[in-house]
Structure 1
Amino acid sequence: MATSAYFPKPQRQNGHHRGRLSFSNALPVYSPSSSSSSAVQEKYASIANKSPWIVFVSLRLPGFPAYPFRVYFINPRRLHHFSTTRFGRKRGSLLLCISFIVLLFFVFALTKRFGSHAKRWPTPFPRDRRTLVYKREDLQRIWQWEVTSGHYPSRQRVPEQVRLKEAIPNPALPPRRPTTVPSPGSYVTETRGIGSKRIYLDIQSAPENVAYPPRPVPGSVADLDIVMDHCDFSEKKVVRDCLEVLRVGAGLDNGKRVRRGKMDDWKYIYIEQPDNSTLVARGLDEEDDYEHKGTVADDGTDPDAGLTKKWGVEWEAPPIILPKPIDYHPASIAPSQCDPDHPRIFHMFWTGPITDKPYLAILSFLFTQNTGLHTKEYPVDGVCRPQFWLWLNPGPAATVPNPTALQEMFAQLKSNPWASPFLHPRFKDIIHFKMWNTTEQLDGVPELKDEWRSRDLFNSGGYVIPVPSKLKENQATTDNSTDAPKATPTNADDMVNRTGSKSLSTYDRLSVILSDMARFILCHRFGGIYLDADTIFLRDWEELWGWKGAFAYRWSRLEKYNTAVLRLNKNSALGKFLFRTALKNNMDFHPMTVSKYTKEAQLEGLLMRLPDALFDSAWLITEDHQHMRPPQPFFTSFLQFFDTPSTDSASPQVSGFEGFFRGAYSYHFHNFWWKPFDPARNWPDLGPRFIAAERQARRALRDGVTTREGHADSEDEEDRVEDDRRDLDWATVLKRTFEAYIRGERPNMYGEMLRW
């Protein structure tokens, strides 16, 4: 007769005592090792063993009630029973959880590999985010080359982690006593000034000539250390106050200056006054080959201690090889002669047909820069004439131009109403349209040409869009071959085939990523300053050209770069570092990633991070900072540049160009490529000289549209004020102001009339 245990006794689980007595609840206890077993428990175990491994759920599909859809999956009850009987309750449950997590990761991995743009298997652990590939000795060489070339006209300290044992001679700084005396065993953090004396200028409009501000003094230089003192967001400086210092120090307040007391601390523009000993100051013997004097510690310690190399990548070897430093010449010496090592070129990059966005960027360039268009012939003793190079990518970013692309590009420019006016002979020396060829440009960079084909070209912040194979396959056919492939987009709205951003939903992401790389290539190969095409010039950049260091500007509140404005010297050591580092990091030129490159290498000082107030004055406000004391105008969104709120819509027409972030060098309106500057007059309005382009644009707008009162518009019909918008937005006012200058109806911002 089977017996049941009704009295307390120690229980075993998984063959081990639980460490304490477990008491029954007065029901029979089944013990598999006992000859007396419960028939009920045996029955339950038998049922569990016989339950199916696969079960299904029937789903009724709408419209097909008689044909249910079955979804099959593993029976969790059988799986749980199998796991616990084989491995025990604890171990079995843990193993089941681990298996479930692995299954989820496997599904996620398949989705990332086959269902995303990246087409890459994910890693189970976070990627190593280190980017450094240069040793400390190489970093010291880079610092020495840049400082000796005059590319560091700053008093900011060299990071102690660079471990310089000797102060580097700096021809861009005047001599002065060191502020600190290094103690034995410490490292030098200051450069040794051997340059010219600085004379800071008090720039004001002369009496009876105060309608317009004076042009900057030729050869003048902006002291960006002083600008940082008044504008650095990290030091709680306010954009409104920064703009006041910028416009007062440059004399842009012309006749509107109010008495403020002594403002010597606001003088930030200077002239270098060289003597005979500093006309050419390098601190090196001209006859000797340039060699870096090693300063790496030789005391047996690790010379690269404190530096963390990128995982899985070897140090760059051999040590970085640099040419002789550039001879430094003060900007005030022969300002009319262009320095071949520091050319005055503004670069912009554009994909697809020209629209009103590059059109307005070029107009603002003509309205503000010292192009000499106010004279019949450019004066021999004028300043070095700045140039505007617009680089055009004729097709989608992932394609290669065909052999006739250049001829087709100029044919399209001639037929494009937004571009054809700038082909006028009057602009031939200052406005140049260049065709972008990715293969040619990459092969033109010595640091990239042998290895870039093995990398991903469309990498932005680690996010890779897998289309470079199309580009690389096309490289098998040379650009001069008649069989060079043409872009054959199957869907113009597909991301790979887009040529420009036509709306928020059709954003041309590939062209944006390509432009992140293009700006570094253009500045490194040709020199100059790169600006994004959503940029408008607001003043002459003369004193920024005089400051020969590299710079970008701050990413709003973050201590990162925004390269919408980028100054990088031609064939510089810093450029070499950036390209080799980017190559070892899969060609990632996103500004956030570039910020990591320079920070981990202790080179942030060589690419100065200027306050965004200089180029992007609305950014902090749009991100809910400094609302209590905003600048003029007050934008809480970048969209308000195009759609000014009705409560503020009187300001654009009343204050005009002079009331738009006065003091800033430029304005960045952050994309909005699809928003017209002037909705009511969305055509180039440049007067009779360019009437053909205007008629072409107006005809294109009229085609297929019923005109007012049912009659056809005449090409010579006069515009009526009733057809215009009552309140004009800021974008509209700026466009019409620049166009009035080209028409000859008003002078530029410095009171100079355009002469044809």
Structure 2
Amino acid sequence: MSGDELPIYKGHKSQPSWTKQVLVPIPGVPARRLRLVVPNSTRIQQLGSGRWGRKRGFVLLLAACLAMVLTVSALRRSFGRHGASWDGFQQEQEPSTLVYRRDDLRRIWEWEIASGHYPSKRSIPKEIGFKSPPSNPSLPFRGRNIPPSRFRPPPTVVTTNADTDALGVGPKRIYPDIQAAPPNVAYPPRPVPGSIADLDAVMRHCDFSENKYVRDCLEVMRLGAGLDNGEHTRRGKMDDWKYIYVEAPADDAVQKQDPNPVVPAPVFRPPVSVMTEDPEAGLWKKPDASLESPVRFEKPIPPRLYGGECDPENPRLFHMFWTGPFTDKPYLALLSFLFTQNTGIHLKEGSETTPVCRPQFWLWINPGPAAAVPNPNALTDMFADLKSNPWAAPFLHPRFKDVIRFKMWNTTEQLDGVPELKDEWRALQDSLFNSGGIVINVPKEKGADNATSSTAAEGDDIHNRTGSKSSSSYDRLSVILSDMARFVLCHRFGGIYLDADTIFLRDWEELWGWRGAFAYRWSRLEKYNTAVLKMSKGSALGTFLFRTAMKNGLDFHPMSISRYMHDAHSDDLLLRLPDALFDSAWLNTEYFQRDRPPQPYFTEFGEFFDTPLITSAAPQALGFHGFFRGAFSYHFHNFWWKPFDPSRNFPDLGPRFAATEEVARANVNATRMGDDGDEDVYADKRDLDWSTVLKRSFEAYLRGERANMYGESIEW
């Protein structure tokens, strides 16, 4: 008997229940259903038709439903007037985090748009309260469509019944056809210096919310960037798949901004007068929190025409945070950076070339446990350790001095360097390790007054760990510290932050060209994952995030960042890109899109290190070329304790770095020789895993045995 059936007894008329049970699928759990109790429409209809007749009963039921809708609407307005949050019935579980007034949110948006940080055609939410469309210098100019005077709303009426479209006043966009030109077709072309990714177009092809497949997204990303060289099988017009553009100067008439722009409104929307009773209506503030003082920003610097040269306001800095001994994980991140990015190491030093901004990789090292204060000699000790560490020493070679730099992280110094935090963060010192509202208390040494204090005890407890050595001894504090560090680094210095479990897969020129801020999507959820984070130095967005975090316990967990942006109706200021671009396996590992998976097909992240036998022919046969081709990077989600190359777990970079290799070989006892003294190939694993193939491909590039992905070799 099913849950909504009732037994029929002889002599009694069966009456259906007032409620019935329905089974709803649970996302990500295909074998389970959620049982919900809902009103039984049949029972309600019987009541109405039996007592008042079918027609009158139907009318009365409609009136009752209308009354219920009006009641809920009135309650919502009541909650809004008192500054409460209304999001279904989640208000008690997740109160609002918003500590800004509407005028301040609008100023933040105005500053970001005027600075060129909003190169998107997405509408500005009506909750921000723009009374007229702002001029956007990062959108191409378009003619104004002025509606007839009889359709224009009176100037005294504030219309906020619809979102606002910014008025493009910037240079025009040209979308070139990017393909390798004969005879140089063996490798894909480097991106055009100054090219920019149209992330609106990327969202159109890749957004999971619009049922787009990762497989299809990566194909568009490959073809649009010319990465399908030698394997160009698509035919036909593909203009819609072009997502990379360059900016072209416009004439004076186009670049001239209208001081009094008129709303481009081809369709008239009746004005709705609001904000006469409450100027904050529609914004739900953080309960019992003091609101931020009115914000004031320095005059924004308008964006200049982008041509690929370095912009001092937006330096090309990749940031990465690391705690504990240097291992093969940051080693591979750095190798993949050299293999893919336009660092110029394929050119002779001092040679005159077309101006191209060379990105730098800043690896920030926390020299001890996350909850410890560095000693006075920490910087000297750090470089001594790097020189003696086989995984780190190769990157101290003079050839890499302009593109790879090691930096020491000091929490106190870094927080004091953030203007929005420096005068107040010490009040929250006891809750510094806050992750999603869960605070890990750190024992203090007597008299300690720094950001963190070293503990007297030694060992492998949560307060003394330096790196994650296994799944059971995870360095939780360092992970929490890195959640904060990424925002501090991007706000202080500008650039892009990457988690240390990231591997570069292509040149990021087009992403540097896109002036806005972004992170990416948390798999199936419409939340942020900040494993990749791009922000401009000293931006209004950064001010908003730091001040909001300050009023919410200095919590920088990605889910908390999602709440900050959502509560402020400002998600588009920190664009949430599809995870296909940086984390192409994530949806598959959570049971999504397995009917059409991308290549390679991972059902769990561990298969990157231990590729199943049934698919283990692919790594050697396809190599780097066949690994999520089209994505910008790959995120392998932790596994710090799993070696990339178990049978050759040492840096294999050839004679130039033989000294450090010998040390590493001795440490792992990895040398296996044949009778003639040469290394025996039969000692190697027969089927190489994906992690091994990628490591060996990057190492072969440094040894000079192969070119990088763009056909370039290092000039030593």
TM above 0.5, one fold? yes
Instruction: State the match for 1:252 in structure 2.
Output: 227
Matched, 1:617 2:593: no
Query: Cα–Cα, structure 1 residues 413 and 278, in superposed 2: closer, same or farther, change >3 Å?
Result: farther
Query: Cα–Cα, structure 1 residues 279 and 183, in superposed 2: closer, same or farther, change >3 Å?
Result: closer
Query: Cα–Cα, structure 1 residues 620 and 128, in superposed 2: closer, same or farther, change >3 Å?
Result: closer
Query: Cα–Cα, structure 1 residues 473 and 203, in superposed 2: closer, same or farther, change >3 Å?
Result: farther
Aligned match of 2:141 in 160, 163, 175? Answer: 175
Q: Structure 1: how far apart are the matches of 2:579 and 2:512?
A: 18
Matched, 1:510 2:486: no
Instruction: State the match for 2:82 in structure 1.
Output: none
Instruction: State the match for 1:724 in structure 2.
Output: 684
Aligned match of 2:324 in 352, 355, 363? Answer: 352
Q: Structure 1: how far apart are the matches of 2:197 and 2:624?
A: 23
Structure 1 residue 177: deviation in Å?
Answer: 4.5
Q: What is the SS of the residue equivalent to 1:635?
A: coil
Deviations 1:401-454 (Å, cap 9, x if unpaired)? 111000000000000000000000000000000000000000000100111111
Q: Structure 1: how far apart are the matches of 2:415 and 2:253?
A: 38
Instruction: State the match for 1:120 in structure 2.
Output: none
Q: Contact (CA 8 Å) 1:213, 1:252: kept in 2 or not?
A: yes
Q: Contact (CA 8 Å) 2:412, 2:450: kept in 1 or not?
A: no
Matched, 1:544 2:511: yes
Aligned match of 2:300 in 312, 315, 325? Answer: 325
What residue identity is the alignment partner of 1:356?
D
1:58-97 → structure 2 map (5 Å cutoff): none
Q: Structure 2: how far apart are the matches of 1:397 and 1:471?
A: 15
Instruction: State the match for 2:409 in structure 1.
Output: 436
Deviations 1:95-134 (Å, cap 9, x if unpaired)? xxxxxxxxxxxxxxxxxxxxxxxxxxxxxx9666210000
Instruction: State the match for 2:51 in structure 1.
Output: none
Structure 1 residue 755: deviation in Å?
Answer: 1.1
Q: Structure 1: how far apart are the matches of 2:237 and 2:117?
A: 32
Q: Structure 1: how far apart are the matches of 2:424 and 2:525?
A: 33
Structure 1 residue 602: deviation in Å?
Answer: 1.0
Q: Structure 2: how far apart are the matches of 1:668 and 1:492?
A: 30
Q: What is the SS of the residue equivalent to 2:138?
A: coil
Structure 1 residue 280: deviation in Å?
Answer: 8.3
TM-score scaled by length of structure 2: 0.81
Structure 1 residue 353: deviation in Å?
Answer: 1.1
Structure 1 residue 640: deviation in Å?
Answer: 0.3
Instruction: State the match for 1:145 in structure 2.
Output: 111
Structure 1 residue 753: deviation in Å?
Answer: 0.7
Matched, 1:189 2:161: no
Structure 1 residue 183: deviation in Å?
Answer: 6.5
Q: Contact (CA 8 Å) 1:400, 1:474: kept in 2 or not?
A: no
Q: Contact (CA 8 Å) 2:444, 2:453: kept in 1 or not?
A: no
Q: What is the SS of the residue equivalent to 1:656?
A: helix
Structure 1 residue 162: deviation in Å?
Answer: 1.1
1:117-266 → structure 2 map (5 Å cutoff): 129-177=95-143, 184=153, 185-187=158-160, 189-266=164-241
- Larger deviation: 276-285 or 182-191? 276-285
Structure 1 residue 302: deviation in Å?
Answer: 1.2
Q: What is the SS of the residue equivalent to 1:350?
A: strand
Q: Structure 1: how far apart are the matches of 2:456 and 2:597?
A: 46
Structure 1 residue 564: deviation in Å?
Answer: 0.2
Query: Cα–Cα, structure 1 residues 389 and 717, in superposed 2: closer, same or farther, change >3 Å?
Result: farther
Matched, 1:748 2:712: no
Aligned match of 1:639 in 593, 603, 606? Answer: 606
Query: Cα–Cα, structure 1 residues 486 and 302, in superposed 2: closer, same or farther, change >3 Å?
Result: closer
- Larger deviation: 255-264 or 235-244? 255-264
TM-score scaled by length of structure 1: 0.77
Q: Contact (CA 8 Å) 2:137, 2:302: kept in 1 or not?
A: no
Query: Cα–Cα, structure 1 residues 276 and 406, in superposed 2: closer, same or farther, change >3 Å?
Result: farther
Matched, 1:309 2:285: yes
Aligned match of 1:587 in 539, 554, 559? Answer: 554
Matched, 1:382 2:355: yes
Q: Structure 1: how far apart are the matches of 2:566 and 2:178?
A: 37
Aligned match of 2:396 in 415, 419, 423? Answer: 423
Q: Structure 1: how far apart are the matches of 2:297 and 2:534?
A: 20
Query: Once superposed, what is the RMSD of the aligned Cα atoms?
Result: 2.4
Instruction: State the match for 2:435 in structure 1.
Output: 460
Query: Cα–Cα, structure 1 residues 179 and 721, in superposed 2: closer, same or farther, change >3 Å?
Result: farther
Aligned match of 2:311 in 339, 343, 354? Answer: 339
Q: Contact (CA 8 Å) 1:279, 1:329: kept in 2 or not?
A: no
Q: Contact (CA 8 Å) 1:149, 1:326: kept in 2 or not?
A: yes
Q: Runs ≥4 in structure 1, deviation > 4 angstroms?
A: 125-128, 177-183, 278-285, 485-489
Q: What is the SS of the residue equivalent to 1:171?
A: strand
Deviations 1:300-354 (Å, cap 9, x if unpaired)? 421111111111211111x01111112211212xx23x11111000000000111
What residue identity is the alignment partner of 2:392?
A
Structure 1 residue 180: deviation in Å?
Answer: 10
Q: Structure 2: how far apart are the matches of 1:169 and 1:644?
A: 52
Instruction: State the match for 1:607 in structure 2.
Output: 574
Aligned match of 2:448 in 468, 474, 477? Answer: 474
Instruction: State the match for 2:527 in structure 1.
Output: 560
Q: Contact (CA 8 Å) 1:218, 1:383: kept in 2 or not?
A: yes
Q: Contact (CA 8 Å) 1:371, 1:385: kept in 2 or not?
A: yes
Query: Cα–Cα, structure 1 residues 126 and 298, in superposed 2: closer, same or farther, change >3 Å?
Result: closer
Q: Contact (CA 8 Å) 1:422, 1:431: kept in 2 or not?
A: yes
Count of residue correspondences: 602
What residue identity is the alignment partner of 2:178?
I
What is the identity percentage for the equivalent residue pairs of Structure 1 and Structure 2?
A: 66
Query: Cα–Cα, structure 1 residues 688 and 179, in superposed 2: closer, same or farther, change >3 Å?
Result: farther
Q: What is the SS of the residue equivalent to 2:337?
A: helix
Instruction: State the match for 2:698 in structure 1.
Output: 738
Q: What is the SS of the residue equivalent to 1:529?
A: strand
Aligned match of 1:535 in 498, 502, 512? Answer: 502
Instruction: State the match for 1:44 in structure 2.
Output: none
Instruction: State the match for 1:24 in structure 2.
Output: none
Q: Contact (CA 8 Å) 2:343, 2:403: kept in 1 or not?
A: yes
Structure 1 residue 476: deviation in Å?
Answer: 5.8
Q: Structure 1: how far apart are the matches of 2:247 and 2:523?
A: 32
Q: Structure 1: how far apart are the matches of 2:116 and 2:684?
A: 53
Q: Structure 1: how far apart are the matches of 2:218 and 2:608?
A: 18
Query: Cα–Cα, structure 1 residues 692 and 622, in superposed 2: closer, same or farther, change >3 Å?
Result: same
Query: Cα–Cα, structure 1 residues 361 and 717, in superposed 2: closer, same or farther, change >3 Å?
Result: farther
Q: Structure 1: how far apart are the matches of 2:483 and 2:445?
A: 17
Q: Contact (CA 8 Å) 1:401, 1:486: kept in 2 or not?
A: no
Structure 1 residue 374: deviation in Å?
Answer: 0.7
Q: What is the SS of the residue equivalent to 1:454?
A: helix
Q: Contact (CA 8 Å) 1:341, 1:570: kept in 2 or not?
A: yes
Q: Structure 1: how far apart are the matches of 2:104 and 2:291?
A: 10
Structure 1 residue 549: deviation in Å?
Answer: 0.2
Q: What is the SS of the residue equivalent to 1:375?
A: coil
Q: Structure 2: how far apart are the matches of 1:474 and 1:427?
A: 39
Could you list the runs of 5+ residues in structure 1 that have no partner in the other structure? 1-124, 286-296, 478-484
Structure 1 residue 507: deviation in Å?
Answer: 0.4
Could you list the runs of 5+ residues in structure 2 that have no partner in the other structure? 1-90, 261-272
Q: What is the SS of the residue equivalent to 2:140?
A: coil
Structure 1 residue 492: deviation in Å?
Answer: 2.7
Q: Contact (CA 8 Å) 1:249, 1:269: kept in 2 or not?
A: yes
Deviations 1:463-503 (Å, cap 9, x if unpaired)? 10011x638953369xxxxxxx9846634320010000000
Instruction: State the match for 1:699 in structure 2.
Output: 666
- Larger deviation: 301-310 or 496-505? 301-310
Instruction: State the match for 2:421 in structure 1.
Output: 448
Q: What is the SS of the residue equivalent to 1:474?
A: coil
What residue identity is the alignment partner of 1:194?
V
Q: Contact (CA 8 Å) 1:194, 1:278: kept in 2 or not?
A: no
- From the CA coordinates, give the structure whose radius of gyration is larger: 1
